[in-house]
Amino acid sequence: MAHVITQACCNDASCLSVCPVDCIHPSPDEPGFATAEMLYIDPAGCIDCGACVDECPVSAIKPDDKLDETNRHFIDLNAAYYTDHQPIRRKPVALPLPSPPRRAHIAVIGSGPSAFYAAEQLLSQPGVSVDMFERLPTPYGLVRAGVAPDHQSTKAVTRMFAATAARRLFRYFLNVEVGRDITLDELTTRYDAVLHASGAAHDRRLGIDGEDLHGSVSATRFVAWYNGHPDFAHEQFDLSGETAVIVGNGNVALDVARILVSDPESLAPTDIADHALAALRRSKVREVVVLGRRGIADAAHTIGEFAALGNLRGVDIVIDPDDLRLPAATAAALADGTLDSMLAAKIRIAQRFSAQPITPGNRRIVMRYLVAPESIIGESTVAGISCVHNVYAEDSKVTATSLRFTTDTGLVIRAAGYRGSPIPGLPFDSGRCVVPNDEGRVSQTRGHYVAGWIKRGPTGGIGMNRICGRETARTILADLASGQLRSPEIPRGDVMDLLKTRGAHLIDADGWSRIDQHERSAGHRAGRPRVKLVDAAELEAVARRPKHE
């Protein structure tokens, strides 16, 4: 028997450190780690010790004989990785962290994974304290507001974040907006360093006609809506038509498609927002068309998420075999067995989907490859979307053909990716939509650091944010140790008073504990992990309640 890593893998890489036989790859020091969709266990090397199972923060590692039929394909995927990847068989050496020569206070702006991983590393050094500022009344960033509600195992990583927040030298400043309730200059003069981990909260534009019509919405808004983000809880989306179209085919697009066609009763036991569940129960959507400009060989979705679509009950995954054309070199490598095993697996999954019969009465996800939107049609409201067929040229680049078609729909969801926004007072690379930096140290700006998507762009998930946040924390500690950072001009003791005088409705650790307990208690009564509060005023009110209530 061997252990197997499954779809829930977050690339956290904590499992590598406990594996006694070095059979989990790629590791952070291997070139493929940054682009790896997940980690893989070598079945030939696994000794079935189970150490990785206990270490995995999202319960993604299972014994191969305990997998049900919906997950058994991960046995082959784990093994396939090792057919043409030669991992570096060595344990990475953990370098000692620089030790600050004095007490240091760090302000962290943002409360997502990169912020918490950085905070964890900073707090591991004696005398370093962290104050975390978050605009929302609740922490955890996209783990709370972005991870799909039917992926509860992924959200289990928040247990690690909660352990960091429970440290003696950690403080929450939730419901506090930097720039409104307290200025960046005020933080700069009161803390040894300011770490910006604000993410990339805005959607990328398509740049086509009709993009701003009513019924054309960003996946950013839609995902935040069904996850109960207070800024989007009162949004309304037209789900009265039978067909919805999603532009883009990354994991977010698959999440949205899956939520739209899933049986609402299968979502009811999750932490999906109540208003979204009610809307989905009324929804008339029976078909979701997912558009990808390039072919299956370049599809942005990961293998695990793609394969898992086949587990949806009452849903057909429809792919036209003609849409699975490959670049000539890729097709040749697939035919002679020299194609990268992971890419070959993705193509074969798509081919299996395309060969499956259609079941009358089932809902459908239609995956369209080599199709690009040209315009969204309608006068004031979306009525359809006009698309063009693409082909691969000899150089494997995608070019448009003369073949066009129109799909009737009242809902177009744009899932073309996220982008970061400028942070006032810091330099900004408008091309990459990131803050220019050197290992997290903001260019030409003393005392400011970045981590997460605002540092490197909107790529990689929880695992990459762990590497990224820890790298920035190490940079801060090194600058403290070398004396590059000056001591604060003003003691940070007046931060609370500043916030109170400005009317900020601060939520501290106790307040968040009350919110968390309220949601979990409501969830327990309903047979769910939690019932989310989605109204900012109600969140504030619950945070202020006496503990005995």
pLDDT digits (tens, 9 = 90+) for 355-374: 999 999 999 999 999 999 99
Q: What is the tens place of the pLDDT at every residue in 278-325?
A: 999 999 999 999 999 999 999 999 998 999 999 999 999 999 999 999
Q: Which residue has the higher pLDDT, 28 or 314?
A: 314
pLDDT recorded at residue 461 = 81
114 annotated to a ligand binding site: yes
142 annotated to a ligand binding site: yes
294 annotated to a ligand binding site: yes
Range with lowest mean pLDDT among 61-65, 255-259, 444-448: 61-65
Paired strand residues for 394: none
Q: What's the token pair of residue 143?
A: 């783990």
From residue 440, alpha-carbon distances to 95, 169, 183, 196, 534 in Å are 18, 22, 21, 9, 33
pLDDT band at 547 (very low <50, low <70, confident <90, very high): low
512 annotated to a ligand binding site: no
241 annotated to a ligand binding site: no
235 annotated to a ligand binding site: no
pLDDT recorded at residue 29 = 80
503 annotated to a ligand binding site: no
Q: Which residues contact 253 (CB under 8 A, 6 or more apart)?
A: 219, 246, 247, 290, 300, 301, 413, 415
Q: What's the token pair of residue 507?
A: 């939520």
Question: Is residue 26 reached through a cis peptide bond, with omega within 30 degrees of 0 on the bond before it?
Answer: yes
Q: What's the token pair of residue 293?
A: 């400009």
| Number of other CB atoms surrounding residue 520 within 10 Å | 15
262 annotated to a ligand binding site: no
- Provide mean pLDDT across the span 525-548: 93
225 annotated to a ligand binding site: no
pLDDT recorded at residue 464 = 86
218 annotated to a ligand binding site: no
pLDDT recorded at residue 93 = 61
What are the chain's domains? Answer: 3-84 (3.30.70.20), 104-201+420-506 (3.40.50.720), 209-416 (3.50.50.60)
pLDDT > 80? residue 462: yes
pLDDT band at 549 (very low <50, low <70, confident <90, very high): low
134 annotated to a ligand binding site: yes
Single pTM value for the model: 0.91
pLDDT recorded at residue 421 = 93
Range with lowest mean pLDDT among 30-44, 62-76, 91-105, 286-300: 91-105
> Helix, strand or coil for residue 414?
strand
From residue 80, alpha-carbon distances to 6, 8, 145 in Å are 14, 18, 33
Average pLDDT over all residues of the chain? 93
- Provide mean pLDDT across the span 133-139: 98
How large is the angle between the packed helices 113-123 and 462-482, nearest 10 degrees? 40
CB 210 within 8 A of CB 377: yes
Range with lowest mean pLDDT among 84-98, 268-282, 354-368, 388-402: 84-98
Q: What's the token pair of residue 391?
A: 């082909």
369: nearest Cα among 414, 303, 418, 318: 318
Q: What is the tens place of the pLDDT at every residue in 207-252?
A: 999 999 999 999 999 999 999 999 999 999 999 999 999 999 999 9
pLDDT recorded at residue 127 = 93
- Provide mean pLDDT across the span 423-447: 94
What are φ and ψ of residue 178, in 5° steps? -70, 130
* CB neighbour class for 288 (10 Å; exposed up to 12, middle 13-18, buried from 19): buried
